[in-house]
Structure 1
């Protein structure tokens, strides 16, 4: 599913350019993704579109600089590298408190038993992409084009 999300982001840098669900499914199938993976990704996106953003916005309003501790269920699904990248995004200010919670919520909604750092990166890109502002686009570019050999702490 995360590969499908990455493909969508690469193909449709702007939300305004995304076609409807059936057209997307056909394009994804033509790109070589299997039906199950396409269905899961499109369902995930639909759920994401229907999210009530008010609770996340409330987190931003009340936010104080505090580290996010992962719940044991979250920790058990994220690889060590994924946890490190999540904490890097959280502590660097790349994500607000609300976006950070959206990220972890969306990661936990996937069917993947083990979530790696690439998946965290891709879902973070989707969370920022959905935000649709200039700052989000700058962060997206940084995540996409950052040197992968640098330290994250």
Structure 2
């Protein structure tokens, strides 16, 4: 699922650019993704679009306090993923609401162990779907720094 999300970011600069679900599924299949991955990613996007942002936005009203992972969350995130999550949280790349949205969306994954690449990709999607350009630059740098190429 996480690879599909990264592919979508690379292909579509704007949320308004990508086609309907069936056309997108065909494109993803032609790109070599398997049907289960495509369905999981498209379901994730659909559920994400239906989320009420108000409860998350309410978290942004107060001071940004450190986030301690619940043992169930920590058990699903690799050590590198936990480190990246805490870095994104403490660096200001994510607001309190975005941080909670990120962890909620990571926990929706079927993956038993979530690695740092998954955290990067889901953080990117959270920020991209919210239209946060400045934070996108930070996430984009994290995602594509190894390739030494800017995608947008």
TM-score, L = length of structure 2: 0.91
Give 1:16 deviation, angstroms.
Answer: 1.6
Question: After the TM superposition, which of the residue ranges 137-146 and 81-90 deviates more from structure 2?
Answer: 137-146
Alpha-carbon shift at residue 135 of structure 1 (Å):
2.1
Q: Is there any run of 5+ residues in structure 2 with no aligned partner, and where?
A: 148-152
CA distance in 2, matches of 1:100, 1:143: 17
Answering whether residue 59 of structure 2 is matched by residue 59 of structure 1, we say: yes
Cross-structure match for 1:16: 16
**SS of alignment partner, residue 15 of structure 1:** coil
Deviations 1:98-118 (A, max 9, x none): 000000000000000000000
Cα offsets for 1:40-95 (capped at 9, x unmatched): 0000000000000000000011x213100000000000000000000000000000
Q: CA deviation at 1:143?
A: 2.8
Change (3 A) 1:140 1:81: closer
Contact 1:4 1:28 in 2 (8 A): yes
Count of paired positions = 147
Q: Which moved more, 1:70-79 or 1:135-144?
A: 135-144
- Contact residue 66 and residue 89 of structure 2 kept, 8 A: yes
Cα offsets for 1:4-51 (capped at 9, x unmatched): 111111111211211111111000000011111100000000000000
Q: Structure 1: 5+ residue runs without aligned partners?
A: 149-153
**Structure showing greater relative contact order (alpha-carbon pairs closer than 8 Å, 6 or more residues apart):** 1
What is the deviation of 1:132? 1.1
Secondary structure in structure 1 of the residue aligned to 2:4: helix
| CA distance in structure 1 between the aligned counterparts of 2:7 and 2:146, rounded to whole angstroms | 20
SS of the aligned residue for 1:46 comes to helix
